[in-house]
Amino acid sequence: MRLLVTGGAGFIGSNYVRHAASGDYEGLRDAEIVVLDKLTYAGVKENLDPVADRVELVVGDICDAELVGELMQRVDQVVHFAAESHVDRSIDGAADFVMTNVVGTQTLLDAALRHGVDRFVHVSTDEVYGSIDEGSWTEDRPLEPNSPYSASKASSDLIARAYHRTHGLPVLITRCSNNYGPYQFPEKVIPLFVTNLMDGGTVPLYGDGLNVRDWLHVDDHCRGIELVRAGGRAGEVYNIGGGTELTNRELTERLLAASGKDWGSVVPVEDRKGHDRRYSVDIGKISAELGYAPQVEFDAGLADAIEWYRGNREWWERLKQR
């Protein structure tokens, strides 16, 4: 089997590729893996170093129809991670988000349809649902995205669904909660706070700090994606989550404690525009159909991640200068 992984040099895509190419996913032990990644500011070639001899990296853009067509001809299945992924950047300027997340996804779907791929897994996000004060979203809830990032992801999610409904392309969609773990770009809250605190700096806390996120270890997200790729039903959406719900204040408290710092290191800053209050996904469907359950306990996973950032200063120091 030949598998195309887009965005495989980013945080989550590279985690999936490292596991797949190391034989951790039974269904991919003999797979040939091709990664298509543009190596934007968020793409790091070295993230694939541990499996570089088992993976082909093609540096290119998912919006490049000719290149995407050539690659699609050579593969049987696709797992599509490539995206502009940082909400704050989408508030500063949404053009790259629409181009990569919407047009890029449509370019991939078109080529997948032309070349008859057997599975197309589209990696979406729980942010497409909007914000929920109580309870959790099931997959049939309407999409009400609030940021340009989540709106561009909702658009690509719906275009992927439409390629199944209209053309019968075997598309599967996953919508996951917030991820943490090693190799996360240090603009995202956990690695940003951890590395700032490591250097004796301060950390910015948005608004009243009471926004709630469900934190899931990246290994659990990738395990969920692999379950969907291997056994999910075409045309279906699967939520992935079930991590630990924390307010940003609670998260900050834990990161301060792990770094031996106190609230003196925290600088309150004006709230993010349109900041969603709470995300929460219901994972009943993927659990019942595919036997998914998160395995990494939050405190242990966070301690491991912090240890990884401590041991890999040269990795994040360089990226913080980008």
Binding residues vs ligand NAD (CB under 6 A): 6-7, 9-13, 36-40, 42-43, 61-63, 81-85, 100, 104, 123, 125, 153, 176, 178-179, 185
In eight-state DSSP terms, residue 98 is: I
Dihedral sign of CA atoms 102, 106, 112, 118 in order: positive
Q: Tell me how far, at minimum, the Cβ of 305 lies from ligand NAD, in Å.
A: 13
Structure tokens at 297: 């306990």
Q: Tell me how far, at minimum, the Cβ of 112 lies from ligand NAD, in Å.
A: 15
Q: Tell me how far, at minimum, the Cβ of 200 lies from ligand NAD, in Å.
A: 26
Place of tokens 């993976």: 55
Q: Which residues are catalytic?
A: 126-127, 149
Orientation angle between helical segments 105-114 and 65-73, nearest 10 degrees: 40
Q: In whole angstroms, give the CA distance from residue 315 to residue 309.
A: 8
Q: Is 272 within 8 Å of 207 (Cβ atoms)?
A: yes
Q: In whole angstroms, give the CA distance from residue 30 to residue 183.
A: 25
By C-beta, is 82 or 203 nearer to ligand NAD?
A: 82
Q: In whole angstroms, give the CA distance from residue 172 to residue 79.
A: 9
By C-beta, is 97 or 261 nearer to ligand NAD?
A: 97
By C-beta, is 164 or 217 nearer to ligand NAD?
A: 217
φ, ψ of residue 63 to 5 degrees: the values are -85, -5
**Closest listed residue to residue 101, CA positions, set 168, 60, 149:** 149
Q: Is 150 within 8 Å of 87 (Cβ atoms)?
A: yes
Burial classification of residue 24, based on how many CB atoms lie within 10 Å of its CB (0-12 exposed, 13-18 middle, 19 or more buried):
middle
Q: In whole angstroms, give the CA distance from residue 67 to residue 291.
A: 37
Question: Using CB atoms, what's the residue nearest to ligand NAD?
Answer: 10
**Closest listed residue to residue 235, CA positions, set 316, 297, 165:** 165
Q: In what order do the strands lie in the sheet with 119-125?
A: 55-59, 32-37, 2-6, 77-80, 119-125, 171-176, 237-240
By C-beta, is 12 or 117 nearer to ligand NAD?
A: 12
Q: Tell me how far, at minimum, the Cβ of 228 lies from ligand NAD, in Å.
A: 13
